[in-house]
Each structure stands twice: as C-alpha cells, then as structure tokens.
C-alpha cells in the first residue's frame, strides 16, 4: 500500500531475537568455562578480572565468580601499591553500581560492595551513603540496601541525629515502611535515652552509634521525645488506620522496658524443709549460680525447676538437708545469692511460724501498668482520647481497638476492665480469624487484674471463674496462692507452669474442657482437686496427680473417664492417698 | 522549504499546527494517508505555542500590527466547471485581544516596545467589549467589589503608568533588598532559555493526552516533569493542599481528625454509593458539608481537588474528584505532568510523528481558498498561498482560517483571560526552589473569577535560574488585565516595598485574552462535508477537549482505521530503495530527529509517561 511504513513482522523479530540470544549464550558459556579453568590454575590476572566482569554484568548472582573476583583482588593487593589498589577498588565500585542498576536486589552485588568498601584504602563513605539514598528513593523497602546502609553508617560514624533525620525523610515520603520505623526505634534510645537512670547522658547525646553496655541499656526513650513520637505516629495512623507499620511502632512506644533481673520472691516452708525462689524472668539456676546461705552457713543444695519440662524457669526449688529447720522453736535467716547478677534476697523464718516469704508484689512493681511518671500520665490519657476519637470514626478498625485496650491497661487496668472486655468482644467479631489470639490476650489481662485484686486484698486465694479464660499465664506470680478457683472457663489444660503454685492446697477447676493435668505435679501441699465436668478421658491422664503426696479429695464427676471400666480400682491403685474420690 | 512546488495531490490537507490539528496529522499519516500540514505562521503550534522571551516580544508585536488587507486574486484559471471557491482568512485577528505588557525590571533598555504593546488598539478593545457585553451586569457588581477592596487596588491603578515607563531614578534602584534583581537586559540576553506558553495547561496522569502519548509512542519525543505541589490561595495566604497519603501525613494545617476525615472521604468517594446519587443535581458543596467535613477540607476538595465551583452539581464534582484521585500516584504525588521545554512541545511531537510517517510540513505557507464541487458540496482541492492547486479528499482547518463572516453563524465566542508573569521567587518558598506548583484561586478570593495558576521553576526549562514563570488563566469577565491584575497585585509585589514584604516580585508581565476554544461551535459553519474545523485551546486544565476533537475528526475521515496505533520502533522499520519517511527539511532542521530523541529518552526514562 502506498505510503505505508513497512514494519518487520513478529516472526522476523522473533527470529532475530532468537539468533541474538543464541549468540549471547555462546559467548557466555565460553567466558564461564574460561573463568573456571583459570581459577583452577590459580591465575589472578587482569584478563580474569575482565572475564568475570563481563559475566557478572549480565548475571550478578553468580556467587562463584564473585568469590573468584575477590581472590584476584586480594592477590592484587599484595602486588600493587596503595594508589593502584585504591584505583582498582574504585573501578570495582563503579562496576558494582552498574550491576545494581541491572538488579538492585542482587545478594552477590551488595555483598561484594560491602567487601570492597571495607577494603578500600581510602573509603568514601559519603558517596556510599548517597548511593544508598538513591537506591532507597527508588525502592524504600529494598532490604539489601538497608543492610548495606547500616554497615556504611557503622563504618563511617554517621551522627545518630543525622540518621534520625533520614528516617524522618523516608517516613515523610511513605510512612508504610517497617524498615524506617524500626530504624527509628533503634536510634531514639541512643539520641534521647531515658534520663531517670542515667542523668549524666542527658543533653549530651552520644555521637557514635555504639550504645552503652547492652545488658544494662534500657532501650527506652526519654519522655519528652516519646511525646513527640506519639504525635508523629498518630498522624500516620489517623491518615491510614489500616497500615500496620505505624501501629506496630506505636506499640513499641507504649511498651515497657524489660524488667530488671532480680529475685522477686523467696519462700521457705518448715514442714517440707523446702525453699522456693522466684525470678523476674525465666533463668537456668541449675549450674551453681544460686547460693543459699542459712544462718550464715552456705548450704549445699540441689536446685531444680518445678517441672522437668523446664530448663529455664522463673521458679526454682531446693530441699534443705533433713532436720535443718524442722524445729519450730528455732528462728532462721536465709539469704539467696544470685551470683551471676550480684543480686540477693533475705528471708527470715521466725519462731513458731511454719512458713515465711519475702517478696515484691506485682502492685509494688506496677507490673501491669505504664512506666510513665505521674504528670505524664495525663499525656497517656490524651492519647487514649485521640485514639478513642479515631475509633468513633473507624469503629471497626482492629488496630485502633487493640491500641485502646493497651492504653487502658497502661493507665488503669482495673478501672477500665469493663470497657476492655467490650472491646475484646468487638475485636473477636471484626477480626474473627484471630479470635483465639484475642481470647488468649484477654485471658492474660483478666489474670493480671485478678492478681492485682488479690494483692490489694492481701489474700492467698486466686479466684477467676466465669471469665472465658482460654489460657493460664503469670503463674510465677501465684507462688504463694493456697486456693485457686478456675471454674467455668474454657481451659483445656493445666500446663506444666501450674507446678509453680508451690503452696497450693485446693484446686477448683469445674466446668472447663480440661483434658490434660501435666502441671499438677509435685505440689507438696495439694489436698483437694475438683474437676467436675471436664474432658479427662483416661485414668492415665490423672497420672501427674500421683506425685502430689497429700492429695485426699478428687472430684471427677462429669468426665468421660468415669465411664471407663474398672476406673475405681485403677484410680485407687494410681492414687493411693486419695480417700475421697467422687465419680 | 525549497522553492520547488509541492506535490499536487494529497489525501488530507491540514491548516494550522495546534494540538488537535497535529494529532489528526499524526493519526492520518500513521495509517498511511498522505498529509500536507501547513501553517501560515512562522512557528509551530499556533495558539498552543511556546516562545522564547524574545520570540514572545515578536509575537506581541505581531498581535498589535495591522493586518494587511487581502488582495483578492482571480483564481478562475485554476478552477474547473461546477466548482466554487471558499476564501479563507489570511490572518488571525480575533483569537488574541487586549495584549498588555508591564515591565518592572530596574534597568530599562527597551521601554518603547512595552509601552507600545500596552496601548492596545482601540478596535480590539471595542471588539472585546462587544464580546463581553452579556456579562456587563456581573461586571458592574464586580466593580463595586473592587471599589470596596480599597486602597490596595487604587494604589496599583495609580502606579501602573509609572511601571510602564519607569523613571531612571525610580526608588527601586536605591534600597535594594537581599534578593538579587534580574534586569531586563538579562531577560533579553538569556531570552532563549525561556519557553513561555500561550496556553497554560497540564497533563492529567491518566488523562486522554497521556494515554494517547503512550499508545501512539509519541511519548518518545518528549520529556515530562511531575507537578510537585498543589497549592491554594485562601484567606490571603498560599497553602499547600494535602492530596496524597504522604501529603496528608505530613500536613501541619490539618488536625488528626481532619486527616482521617479527608482520607476517608478520598477513599470512599471512589465508589458510587446511594448516598451520593441522592445528591444528584444538588450542589457538590452541600454534599461535602453533609459529610461532616470542616471548612478547610471543603475548600480543598471543592476548589483544589475537584476544581469546580460552589454550585457545581454533586455528580460532576464527584466525577472530577475521582479523576483527580485516579491520576494520583501514577507518576508522583500529584496528578499532573508538565512537558519539559513547555507545552508547545506537544503539538510538535505529533507533527514529528506525522513527518516520520511521510507527512509534509510547511510553515509560512497557507491556503487562499478551498475549491468546492457544487454538486456534491465536497472540497476537491485547495489553492495554496503560492497559487498552486492541490487536490485533496479532506481538509482539516483551524478555526482562525475561516473568514469572519462564516463564523458569525456561530454564537459569539467567549474568551479566556491570561496573564504571564516572570517573578523572582515562589509564591510558597520551600526547601527546594525547583517546584512546579498548581495554585487554585477560588472565585472571589481576590475579588475576581476562579483563577488557575501554574508556577514553573527553571528546571522545567521554561525560565532562567533565579526566576519563576507564572501562568494565570480564568474565564473572561472583562479584559485579562481587569480580571487578573487584582490577584496579581495581591499575591505579588509589583513595586518596590521596603518593609518585610515576603511576596515574590514581578519582573515582567503580559496580559491578553484568548478565544476559548470550547465555546466555538464546531458545526454550523456551513462548510463542505469533508471540511473539519478545529477550534483552538479551551480553558480546561487538561487536554481532554483537543484530544477528543482530534479523535472525532479522525473517525469522520477514516471511520475504519485505528486512531494512533503504537508506532513501531525505529529499528523495526524496513527502509528499502526510496526512503519511506520523507521527513520535511523544515522539521529536520528545526527539531531534533527522532533517533536523537530516542537516546535522550533512554537517559530520562523515569520521566517518561510509559507504562
């Protein structure tokens, strides 16, 4: 047709492309073979550099070739002078830049770049930093680049403040970025450390990102900065409440410091001649890190965790040599030393007393509350107000609901109990996929509340019935409890941690779905267990009870196990101490 | 063009190189039609053109020149039996009026020209007054307002003559603020670095022009920059309009609750709901109010995002809002692109495409008359300005080529008021001085109609470093100067003030009115059925009007053919014997060849509107 432009047909184009590809493949294979044979012969010359470069620029993920290249370069370092080495490495960096343009997420290229940068005689970290910035502006979630950037920052001592501004910038352009928020959470404690414990650091932020000893560092941020962060993150979740990254950061902000490592309780029982020690976190006390001093005399005792399942446990027990404290007319002074942490706790067992303890309570430690100072509590209150405002606008947003719950707990766990329960109900409805998670979380909070109530009442009775509990936790806090009532919940087991209730005498756990009693294990004072209407199905399930020497009364009515043949005789054999068996 | 004659036979003759005509030319050449594309002007793109500073001064001069009366020649020797002539106009006297120039630079080298230019010819003024007679009532209402607006207004009125012919010892020469003044000599000397558009438009990222550029591969001939900010003029201040997620997050003017409400509205309005349809026919503002959106959010949504007026019906307002939002995020944080080197590039890109596919181009070359077959009422041929008869099957003609008497059939045209300012700083200074901003000024904010303002920075290659180029556009009520100068004097400094005035200074400015292409009736010219009229630029911010027009003309000419299918890559074109791409000399000299552009494109890929 006149005037029409003649264009190659698709078939023609395909054919040309195919030929092109074949040609390329031939060259590639030839170069690869040449490289391999050179490496075998340990040839480290310029030609090898060129060959690997040719191959890597079309396929930067060929790890063997990068290795060969590094061998060549280390060899060249030994034969060239510094200026030449500098030049070689600079050429290497610009070659790598072209590789990263082909594939900005190539493991090989980024790793090699890190290697080269570290070996460069006169490193140019500013250039590297700006390369990272360029890469991140193209893809702010390129984790290879984030990794490399962290290395560059570390090597070049970039001021923390500058890095914080960098995260400001990235969050400003797209706040849906976990990397930036997380980076922020590592920078803030360095730049604005919590002041109460370390007043010396205030106003003199450390300029290198080397933190003080990580063991003692609290990872907390001073209140003033914390408030600014609240504002920033609030802007993010009001803008897009469905974006998780901001909410996660907010949870970090609201989070508590790790508890100080300490001995939180020492309990001694005259009758069992036994000492129980509770720690602020699970420890392994088997290996001689605990020292028991009785009336000034170090004792050789064997520490064990409450259940063979635990290598690490917050509660450890030991038996004193028979007769050491059995005489009720004697007064004794105990000290437990935690040699590793230079911590210790004393406990006095007075004349006429059968048991004694010394401890910090959950209420003393404000274990389940915010750590903010009293005047800043008003700030938390206004946080709650604004999140409530968001909830009014977005009544079904799960992140919002969950955050309200967390804020309420930080402020006044008991006062907000009713609202918390209502919000959990909504959460289970709007996010049914996670209803079990919310159930467990709600259980945890209800247990915390019950612990608080118990301690305010100064009793040793823990009663939490009809609360939809799905799980048990904080059992280390119940070391001294003598009576526990868990009736009418949704528990399926009494877990191994249950064995931490060393003073327990009576268990009521009627109307649950308990099928497993693992945790009712070596409880020295346990006398009475009521398990009406549960799911105990075989006599073997009751095996753990056999380890409780004082068990007298056992109520198993309404359990499948009662239907088994010979159940009575089997149980009599298994649990000889039980005199009162209800089936 | 060499002095040799043109071929005497074409499929399509196109007069005028504006956007719509150029798109038709490209589309027709692309499917194998022989296209002759002429423009009587010495530059491409007609009223869509971009000029260097000096080019613009020449253009201003041309607008003020008397058009020579046309010699009526006898063309009967070129005619056959049964044919009649339609004479075309040889000048465009009506589309541009009320040209006024003000120069505020300190050193004056050429004040005669600006003084001349500002004395608009009386005829033009009279013509304009006719055109706007209808709106005289509103005008008087406005003038009252203006009086009330008070001293600021009067002051400028008083100072204008002075500004036009500044005295050598004007106070500006003494107390110099920190800002370095750009002199007039510098504007002239570096004039080549300006690209000043006659129309002020932007490309919606998902608008029909971007789609067309991508689809046709014409995008390879141009580069684009993102508009970086959407601003608005409110309570006498310039504010940034938060429209993307990042903007809303970073905004300091909005409370967190407002942020949520805005984001929620922006997300929810994308889908049509019953609640929305209940508001059909009722004002959009009412709808916004009932969404519990506060005053500032209403302002942003109505004036800056939907860019409609208070009485626009809800369905229309929502459609504009959705269009804006759909365009967000495709190329950046605002919905707009701007072509580097100015809007005049776009028609030229399509011409280039047409030339690559065999279109023949002549500037300073026109057509005297159309030869019409009386029986069929179809145009058989044209007689060009050299007296050559060129036969053709279709004629596409820009509106201004038609004689005034033919246009009287149409309703009197409406006008756009335009102002072009060269300023020394941005209306909203920020960290970077390289921002391209859209500023929406709602009606009444400065006592005038709604104004769309586009502020360009030097990296858009439209002005020299240290200056900004500001385009203002509104529907005419009075002359461009009457409509726009109140806003200019509010937002900018036109005189030297010693105090802490942070407003940008105007160095030079131009006012003119341009016929609004969207109000020129395409039909009703009583033209032969194979003659199609393109009207010039419309007042809209996007290019939808021109693209739609071009497509509909193309479909009338070639109903069976595809409109602008993708052009093949240069390496896939087979060149055999005679070169199939007879690119016109003019175009080759004047513009970069397509291959060169290809290279440039590769270097600037991020800015290319390609998917």
Q: Distance between CA B19 and CA B542 in Å, rounded?
A: 12
Checking if the pLDDT of A529 tops 90, the result is yes
Q: Between the CA atoms of B316, B321, B323 and B326, what dihedral angle is there, to the nearest 10 degrees? A: -150
pLDDT of A115-154, one tens digit each? 999 998 888 899 999 999 999 988 888 999 999 999 999 9
Confidence of residue B164 (pLDDT cuts 50, 70, 90): very low
Is some CB atom of chain B closer than 8 A to the CB atom of A40?
no
Q: In what order do the strands lie in the sheet with A263-269?
A: A303-305, A313-319, A274-283, A263-269, A355-359
What 3-state class would DSSP assign to A161? helix
Percent of chain A at pLDDT above 70?
92
In this model, does residue B603 exceed pLDDT 60?
A: no
Mean pLDDT of A406-416: 88
Residue B32 burial (10 A CB sphere; 0-12, 13-18, 19+)? middle
On the CB side of B280, how many CA atoms lie within 13 Å of its CA?
5
Interface mutation target, options B226, B353, B572, B581, chain A, most CBs of A under 10 Å:
B572
Residues in A closer than 8 angstroms to B358, CB to CB, are 3, 5
pLDDT tens per residue, range B373-418? 999 999 999 999 888 999 999 999 998 888 766 655 456 678 999 9
pLDDT of residue A522: 94
Q: What is the pLDDT of residues A163-186, one digit of tens each?
A: 999 999 889 888 988 889 999 988
pLDDT at res. A365: 65
Provide DSSP, B514-546: EE-GGGS-SS-S---TTEEEE----SSSSSHHH
Residue A417 has pLDDT above 70, yes or no: yes
Give the pLDDT of residue B127. 42
| Structural contact between residues A191 and A220, judged by C-beta atoms closer than 8 angstroms | no
**pLDDT value for B571:** 72
Q: What is the pLDDT of residues B246-270, one digit of tens each?
A: 889 988 888 888 999 999 999 888 8
Q: Which of A366-370, A481-485, B212-216 has the lowest mean pLDDT?
A: A366-370
Q: How confident is the model at residue A543 (pLDDT cuts 50, 70, 90)?
A: very high
Say if residues B568 and A7 touch (Cβ distance below 8 Å): yes
How much is the ipTM here? 0.75
Q: Is the pLDDT assigned to residue A197 strictly greater than 80?
A: no
Who wins on pLDDT, A218 or A378? A378
CB-nearest to A175 from B249, B357, B572 is B249
**Res B523: pLDDT:** 56
**Cβ contact (<8 Å) for A172 and B357?**
no
Average pLDDT over every residue of B79-103: 87
Q: Which of B30, B260, B607 is the best mutation test for A, with the most CBs of A within 10 A?
A: B260
Residue B451: phi and psi, rounded to 5, are -120, 135
Distance CA A35, CA B191 (A): 58
Residues of A in contact with B249 (CB under 8 A): 172, 175, 235-236, 239-240
Do A181 and A248 contact (CB within 8 A), yes or no? yes
CA distance B189 to chain A (A): 37
Asked if A379 contacts A353 with a C-beta cutoff of 8 angstroms, the reply is no
Are residues A239 and B261, on separate chains, in Cβ contact within 8 Å? no
CA angle A177, A180, A182 (to 5 degrees): 105
pLDDT for the residue numbered B147: 40
Please enumerate in sequence order all residues whose Cβ is within 8 A of that of A345, keeping only pairs 6 or more positions apart, or say none: A263, A265, A266, A277, A335, A336, A358, A359
How confident is the model at residue B579, as a pLDDT?
A: 44
User: Any CB–CB contact under 8 A between A239 and chain B?
Assistant: yes
Partners of A386 on chain B (C-beta within 8 Å) are 256
Residue B136 has pLDDT above 60, yes or no: no
Q: Report the pLDDT averaged over residues B296-308.
A: 92
Mean pLDDT of A249-270: 83
Mean pLDDT for the stretch of residues A295-312: 91
Q: Which residues of A touch B263 (CB under 8 A)?
A: 238-240
User: What are the residue ranges of helices labelled H in B206-294?
Assistant: 208-216, 245-250, 256-268, 274-277, 284-290
**Inter-residue contact B535 to B517 (CB < 8 Å):** yes
Contact B533, B397 (CB under 8 A): yes
Strands of B83-87's sheet in order across: B83-87, B367-373, B378-384, B389-391
pLDDT bin (cut points 50, 70, 90) of residue B433 is confident
B256 with A241: Cβ contact below 8 A: no
pLDDT of residue A218: 54
pLDDT at A211: 39
Dihedral angle, C-alpha B239, A180, B266, B247, nearest 10 °? 10
pLDDT score at A540 = 92
Of A3, A173, A389, the CB nearest to B34: A3
Smallest CA–CA distance, residue B226 to chain A, in Å, is 15
Residue A26's H or E segment, with its range, is helix A10-40
- Tell if the CB–CB gap between A390 and B32 is shorter than 8 Å: no
What value does the mean pLDDT take over residues B303-318? 91
> In this model, does residue A353 exceed pLDDT 60?
yes
Q: In this structure, what DSSP letter does residue B341 have?
A: T
The answer to whether the Cβ–Cβ distance between A234 and B256 falls below 8 Å is yes
The DSSP secondary structure of B15-69, one letter per residue, reads: E--SHHHHHHHHHHHHTT--EEEEESSSSSSGGG-EE-HHHHHHHHHHHHSPPPP
Poorest-pLDDT segment among B286-300, B475-489, B493-507 = B493-507
pLDDT on residue B316: 93
SS3 B451: strand
Burial of B553 (0-12, 13-18, 19+ CB in 10 A): buried
Yes or no, beta carbons of A8 and B245 under 8 Å apart: no
Is A175–B256 a contact, with Cβ atoms under 8 angstroms apart? no
Residue B144's pLDDT band (cuts 50, 70, 90): very low
Average of pLDDT values for A541-559? 94
Q: What is the pLDDT of residue B447?
A: 66
The mean-pLDDT minimum among A284-298, A464-478, B144-158 falls in: B144-158
Band of the pLDDT at A527, cuts 50, 70, 90? very high
**pLDDT band at residue A194 under the 50/70/90 scheme:** confident
Nearest CB to B568; choose among A7, A172, A235: A7
SS3 label, residue A548: coil
Residue A302 pLDDT > 80? yes
**Rounded to an integer, what distance in angstroms lies between the CA atom of residue A216 and that of residue A433?**
39
Q: Residue A412: is its pLDDT beyond 70?
A: yes
Distance of CA B253 to the CA centre of its chain: 32
Share of chain B above pLDDT 70, in %: 76
What are the pLDDT digits (tens) for B173-201?
344 444 567 889 999 999 999 999 999 99
Position B140 scores a pLDDT of 40
User: In whole angstroms, what is the distance from residue A103 CA to residue B147 CA?
Assistant: 65
| Residue B4 backbone phi and psi in degrees, to 5 | -70, 160
**Which of the four pLDDT bands, split at 50, 70 and 90, describes residue B141?**
very low
pLDDT, position A368: 73
Residue B454 forms beta bridges with which residues? B438, B471
Q: How far is CA B1 from CA B364, B365, B583, in A?
A: 10, 10, 12
CB of A250 closer than 8 Å to CB of A387: no
For residue range B535-590, what is the model confidence (pLDDT) as tens digits?
A: 889 999 999 999 999 999 999 999 999 999 988 877 777 765 444 444 444 444 34
Look at residue B495 in the predicted model and tell me its pLDDT. 75
Q: Which residues of A touch B248 (CB under 8 A)?
A: 239
Nearest to A56, CA basis, from A25, A84, A31, A86: A31
A5 and B581 within 8 Å at the Cβ level: the answer is yes
Label residue B577 left, alpha or beta by phi (over 0 means left) and psi (-120 to 50 means alpha). Answer: left
Three-state DSSP state, A314: strand
Distance CA A418, CA A408 (A): 11
pLDDT at B600 over 80: no
pLDDT digits (tens, 9 = 90+) for A361-396: 777 666 776 555 555 677 788 889 989 999 999 999
Which percentage of chain A shows pLDDT scores above 90? 60
Domains and CATH numbers, chain A: 19-192 (1.25.40.120), 263-359 (2.60.40.1130), 460-581 (3.80.10.10)
Give me the residue from A7, A234, A240 closest to B245, CB to CB. A240
A279's tokens: 């720690």
CB A237 within 8 A of CB A250: yes
The C-alpha atoms of residue A228 and residue A245 are separated, in whole angstroms, by: 18
Q: What is the dihedral of CA B280, B281, B287, B289, to 10 degrees?
A: -170
Say yes or no for a CB contact (<8 Å) between A393 and B250. Answer: no
How many whole angstroms separate alpha carbon A231 and alpha carbon A452?
32
Interface contacts (A, B; CB < 8 Å): 72
Q: What's the rounded mean pLDDT across residues A101-121?
A: 91
Burial of A184 (0-12, 13-18, 19+ CB in 10 A): buried
Interface of B with A (CB under 8 A): 32-34, 245-246, 248-250, 256-257, 259-261, 263-264, 357-358, 568, 572-574, 576, 580-581
Residue A435: pLDDT band (50, 70, 90) is very high
A382: contact with B, CB 8 A cutoff: no
């Amino acid at each position: 047709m006149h005037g029409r432009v003649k264009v190659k047909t698709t078939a023609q184009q395909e054919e040309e492309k195919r030929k092109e590809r074949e040609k390329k493949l031939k060259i590639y294979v030839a170069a690869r073979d040449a490289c391999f044979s050179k490496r075998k012969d340990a040839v480290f010359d310029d030609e090898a550099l060129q060959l690997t470069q040719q191959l890597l620029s079309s396929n930067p993920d060929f790890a063997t070739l990068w290795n060969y290249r590094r061998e060549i370069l280390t060899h060249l370092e030994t034969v060239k002078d510094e200026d030449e080495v500098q030049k070689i490495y600079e050429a290497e960096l610009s070659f790598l830049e072209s590789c990263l343009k082909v594939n900005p997420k190539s493991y090989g290229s980024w790793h090699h770049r890190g290697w080269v940068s570290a070996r460069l005689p006169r490193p140019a970290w500013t250039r590297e930093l700006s390369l990272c910035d360029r890469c991140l502006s193209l893809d702010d979630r390129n984790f290879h680049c984030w990794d490399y950037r962290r290395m560059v920052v570390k090597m070049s001592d970039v001021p923390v403040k500058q890095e914080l501004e960098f995260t400001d910038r990235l969050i400003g352009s797209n706040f849906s970025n976990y990397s930036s928020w997380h980076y922020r959470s590592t920078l803030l404690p360095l730049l604005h450390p919590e002041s109460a414990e370390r007043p010396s650091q205030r106003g003199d932020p450390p300029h290198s990102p080397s933190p003080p000893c990580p063991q003692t560092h609290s990872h907390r941020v001073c209140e003033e900065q914390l408030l600014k962060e609240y504002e920033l993150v609030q802007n993010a979740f009001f803008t897009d409440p469905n974006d998780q990254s901001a909410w996660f950061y907010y949870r970090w902000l609201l989070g508590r410091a790790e508890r100080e490592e300490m001995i939180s309780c020492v309990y001694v029982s005259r009758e069992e001649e036994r000492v129980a020690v509770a720690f602020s976190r699970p420890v392994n006390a088997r290996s001689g890190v605990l020292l028991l001093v009785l009336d000034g005399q170090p004792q050789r005792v064997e520490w064990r965790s409450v259940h063979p399942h635990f290598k690490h446990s917050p509660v450890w027990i030991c038996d004193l040599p028979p007769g050491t404290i059995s005489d009720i007319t004697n007064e004794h002074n105990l000290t437990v030393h935690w040699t590793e942490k230079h911590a210790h706790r004393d406990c006095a067992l007075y004349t006429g007393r059968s048991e004694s303890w010394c401890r910090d309570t959950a209420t003393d430690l404000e274990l389940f509350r915010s750590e903010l100072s009293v005047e800043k509590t008003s700030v938390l209150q206004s946080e709650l107000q604004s999140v409530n405002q968001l909830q009014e606008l977005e009544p079904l947003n799960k992140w919002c609901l969950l955050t309200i719950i967390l804020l309420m707990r930080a402020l006044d766990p008991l006062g907000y109990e009713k609202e918390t329960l209502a919000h959990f109900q909504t959460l289970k409805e709007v996010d049914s996929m996670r209803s079990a998670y919310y159930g467990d979380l709600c259980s945890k909070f209800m247990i915390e509340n019950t612990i608080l109530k118990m301690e305010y009442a100064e009793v040793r009775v823990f009663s939490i019935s009809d609360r939809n509990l799905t799980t048990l936790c904080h059992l280390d806090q119940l070391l001294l409890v003598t009576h526990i009532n868990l009736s009418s919940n949704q528990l399926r087991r009494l877990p191994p941690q249950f064995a931490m209730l060393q003073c327990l005498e009576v268990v009521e756990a009627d109307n649950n779905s308990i099928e497993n009693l693992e945790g009712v294990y070596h409880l020295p004072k346990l006398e009475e267990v009521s398990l009406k209407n549960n799911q105990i199905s075989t006599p073997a399930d009751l095996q753990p009870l056999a380890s409780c020497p004082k068990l007298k009364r056992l109520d198993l009515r309404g359990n499948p196990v009662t239907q088994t043949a010979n159940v009575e005789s089997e149980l009599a054999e298994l649990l000889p101490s039980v005199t009162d068996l209800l089936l | 063009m060499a002095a040799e004659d043109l071929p005497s036979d074409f499929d399509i003759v196109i007069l005028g190189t504006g956007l719509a005509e150029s798109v038709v030319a490209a589309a027709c050449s692309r499917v194998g039609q022989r296209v002759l594309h002429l423009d009587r002007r010495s530059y491409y793109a007609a009223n869509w053109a971009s000029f260097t500073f000096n080019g613009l001064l020449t253009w201003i001069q041309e607008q003020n020149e008397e058009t020579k009366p046309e010699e009526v020649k006898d063309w009967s020797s070129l005619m056959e039996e049964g044919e009649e002539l339609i004479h075309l106009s040889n000048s465009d006297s009506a589309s541009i009026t009320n040209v006024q120039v003000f120069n505020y630079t300190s050193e004056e080298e050429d004040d005669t020209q600006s003084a001349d230019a500002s004395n608009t010819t009386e005829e033009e003024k009279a013509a304009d007054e006719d055109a706007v007679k209808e709106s005289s009532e509103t005008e008087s209402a406005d003038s009252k307002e203006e009086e009330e607006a008070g001293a600021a207004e009067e002051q400028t009125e008083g100072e204008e003559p002075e500004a036009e012919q500044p005295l050598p010892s004007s106070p500006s020469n003494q107390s110099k603020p920190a800002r370095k003044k750009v002199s007039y000599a510098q504007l002239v000397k570096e004039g080549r670095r300006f690209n000043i558009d006659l129309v002020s438009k932007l490309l919606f990222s998902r608008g029909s022009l971007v789609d067309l550029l991508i689809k046709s591969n014409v995008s390879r001939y141009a580069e684009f920059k993102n508009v970086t900010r959407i601003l608005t003029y409110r309570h006498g201040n310039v504010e940034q309009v938060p429209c993307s997620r990042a903007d809303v997050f970073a905004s300091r003017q909005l409370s967190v609750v407002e942020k949520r409400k805005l984001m929620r509205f922006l997300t929810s309005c994308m889908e049509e709901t019953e609640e929305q349809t209940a508001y059909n026919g009722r004002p959009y503002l009412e709808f916004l109010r009932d969404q519990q959106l506060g005053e500032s959010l209403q302002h942003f949504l109505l004036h800056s995002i939907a860019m409609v007026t208070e009485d626009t019906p809800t369905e229309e307002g929502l459609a504009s809002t959705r269009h804006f939002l759909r365009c967000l995020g495709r190329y950046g944080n605002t919905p707009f692109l701007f072509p580097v080197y100015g809007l005049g590039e776009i028609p030229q890109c399509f011409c280039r495409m047409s030339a690559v596919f065999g279109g023949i181009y002549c500037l300073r070359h026109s057509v005297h008359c159309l030869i019409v077959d009386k029986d069929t009422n179809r145009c058989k041929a044209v007689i060009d300005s050299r007296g050559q008869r060129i036969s053709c099957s279709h004629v596409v003609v820009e509106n201004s080529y038609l004689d005034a008497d033919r246009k009287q059939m149409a309703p009197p045209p409406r006008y756009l008021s335009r102002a072009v300012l060269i300023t020394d700083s941005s209306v909203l200074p920020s960290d970077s001085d390289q921002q391209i901003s859209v500023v929406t000024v709602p009606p009444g904010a400065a006592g005038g109609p709604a104004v769309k303002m586009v502020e360009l920075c030097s990296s858009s290659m439209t002005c020299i470093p240290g200056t900004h180029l500001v385009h203002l556009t509104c529907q005419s009520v009075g002359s461009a100067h009457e409509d726009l100068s109140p806003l200019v004097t509010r937002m900018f400094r036109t005189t030297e003030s010693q105090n802490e005035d942070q407003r940008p200074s105007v160095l030079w400015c131009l006012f003119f009115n341009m016929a609004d292409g969207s109000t020129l009736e395409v039909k009703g010219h009583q033209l032969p059925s194979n003659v199609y009229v393109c009207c010039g630029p419309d007042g809209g911010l996007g290019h939808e009007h021109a693209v739609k027009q071009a497509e509909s003309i193309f479909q009338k000419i070639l109903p069976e053919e595809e409109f602008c299918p993708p052009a093949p890559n240069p390496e896939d074109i087979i060149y055999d014997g005679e070169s199939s791409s007879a690119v016109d000399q003019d175009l080759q000299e004047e513009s970069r060849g397509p291959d060169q552009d290809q290279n440039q494109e590769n270097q600037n890929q991020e800015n290319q509107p390609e998917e």
